Structure 1
Amino acid sequence: MNFSEQLRKENDDLFQMIFAHPFVQGVGKGDISKEALAHYIKADYEYLNAFMQIYGIALSKSQDREDIAYFFDQIKFVLHDEIHPHRNFCEHIGVEYEALQGHSLPPTADHYIKHMMYHAQMGSSGEIIGALLPCPWTYLEIGKKLVEQYQPDESHPFYDWITFYTGEEIEHTTNELRTRLDRFAKQSSLEEQEKMKEAFRKSCQLELKFWEMAYTCEEWPSAEKGNR
Structure 2
Amino acid sequence: MTFTDELRKENDDIYQLIFNHPFVQGIGKGELPKQAVEHYIKADFEFLNAFVQVYSIALSKSTNREDMAYFHEQIQFTLYDEVQPHLNFSDYIGVRFEDLQGHPLPPSGDHYIKHMLYHANMGSLGETLSALLPCPWTYLEIGQELIKKYQPTKDHPFYKWIHFYAESGHETEQMRKRLDAFAANASTEEKLRMKDAFRKSCQLELAFWEMSYTCEEWPSNKAVTQ
Picking from 199, 214, 221, the partner of 2:212 is 214
Identical-pair percentage: 65
Match for residue 24 of structure 1? 24
Match for residue 162 of structure 1? 162
Match for residue 199 of structure 1? 197
> Aligned partners of 1:142, 1:67: CA distance in 2, in Å?
28
Match for residue 6 of structure 2? 6
SS at 1:156 equivalent: coil
Instruction: Flag structure 1 segments of 5+ consecutive residues without an equivalent.
Output: none
Picking from 188, 191, 211, the partner of 1:190 is 188
SS at 1:165 equivalent: helix
> Aligned partners of 2:186, 2:84: CA distance in 1, in Å?
37
> Aligned partners of 1:63, 1:138: CA distance in 2, in Å?
29
SS at 1:104 equivalent: coil
Match for residue 172 of structure 1? 170
> Aligned partners of 1:189, 1:79: CA distance in 2, in Å?
33
Runs of 4+ in 1 over 2 A off after TM superposition: none
> Aligned partners of 1:57, 1:172: CA distance in 2, in Å?
22
Deviation, structure 1 residue 172: 1.3
Q: How many residues align?
A: 224
Post-superposition Cα deviations, 1:89-140, rounded to whole Å, max 9, x if no partner, equal 1001100001110000000000000000000000000000000000000000
1:99-118 matched pairs, under 5 angstroms = 99-118=99-118
Deviation, structure 1 residue 62: 1.4
> Aligned partners of 2:159, 2:173: CA distance in 1, in Å?
23
TM-score by length of 2: 0.98
Q: Which amino acid aligns with 2:206?
A: L
- Computed over aligned residues only, the root mean square deviation of the Cα atoms, in angstroms, reads 0.7
Deviation, structure 1 residue 225: 2.8
> Aligned partners of 2:186, 2:90: CA distance in 1, in Å?
43
> Aligned partners of 1:171, 1:72: CA distance in 2, in Å?
18
Instruction: Flag structure 2 segments of 5+ consecutive residues without an equivalent.
Output: none
Match for residue 74 of structure 1? 74
TM-score by length of 1: 0.97
Deviation, structure 1 residue 143: 0.2
> Aligned partners of 2:3, 2:68: CA distance in 1, in Å?
22
